[in-house]
Amino acid sequence: MGAAGVVDRARALLGRTFHGHGVDLMITEVEAYGGIDDRASHAFTRTPRSEIMYGPPWRLYVYRSYGIHHCVNIVTGPTEEAAAVLLRAGRVIAGGDLARARRGQVHDDSLARGPGNLSLALGVDLKDLGTDVLGSGQVRLGDVGPGRIEISSGPRVGVSQEADRLWRFWITGERTVSAYRRSPGAPAARSAH
DNA sequence: AACATGATTCGCT
DNA sequence: GCGAATCATGTTG
């Protein structure tokens, strides 16, 4: 698997079901992070936090964001690349009451819209770090792959490095997909003029 | 030991 | 569209 391997893995996750602590959703938006080949990846520098990404694939990398939220990633491997896929949004398909209890009164489309909200809806936090999502634990991938879906792509949200790499993918037309925001720290985007 | 920085979200203008 | 909230992590002294 080359540098594009994580991209293939990211696209293949779209439309799959994912379970977290009593809630099932269909993954509708993801971002690929290329590890050692990607300055935007937390694994670009190998530290205790990013160490999980240098391990076997299909384990959870969970981190705290802005001191408030959590973000959920699936490590993709190969181990020497330390790549991972960030789950950015999903459509809740079961356990909606539980998801709403965690998220409050929000529109169904917003229950798992954005990485922090997705993590909250699924009840995933640091206790789930390192969970094998191919196992039968409280956080796991569903067995069934997607039917035919159309995929759109664009730049990743909020990253100041590699801000023009088109490594964000979502199911075309899905209303659960989060809004794009370019990082203030990123160089100005080239005008389309 | 102190400092800078976010793979964000929500409310207000 | 803009900015505050909030704190773990990594970096620097």
pLDDT in tens, A113-162: 999 999 999 999 999 999 999 999 999 999 777 788 999 999 999 999 99
Q: Give residue numbers, 126 to 145 of A, with CB < 7 Å from strand C.
A: 126
Question: Whole-number Å distance, CA A182 to C1' B10?
Answer: 18
pTM of the model: 0.95
Q: Residue A90 to residues A35, A46, A154: CA-CA distances in angstroms?
A: 24, 29, 17
Residue A166 Cα to chain centre, angstroms: 15
Residue A10, H or E segment:
helix A5-13
Question: Whole-number Å distance, CA A37 to C1' C2?
Answer: 33
Question: Whole-number Å distance, CA A1 to C1' C5?
Answer: 41
Task: Find the residue closest to C7 using CA and C1' atoms.
Answer: A67
> Which structure tokens are listed for A36?
């050692």
Dump the DSSP string for A84-111: EEEEEEEEEEE-HHHHHHHH-S--GGGT
Asked whether the predicted pLDDT for residue A1 surpasses 60, the reply is: no
Report yes or no: A11 and A169 within 8 Å, Cβ to Cβ.
yes
Q: Is the CB of A48 under 7 A from strand C?
A: yes
Task: Find the residue closest to B10 using CA and C1' atoms.
Answer: A117
Neighbours of A98 (CB within 10 A): 17
Q: Residue A28 to residues A35, A91, A123, A166, A180: CA-CA distances in angstroms?
A: 22, 7, 18, 16, 14
pLDDT in tens, A17-68: 999 999 999 999 999 999 999 999 999 999 999 999 999 999 999 999 999 9
Question: Whole-number Å distance, CA A66 to C1' C4?
Answer: 12
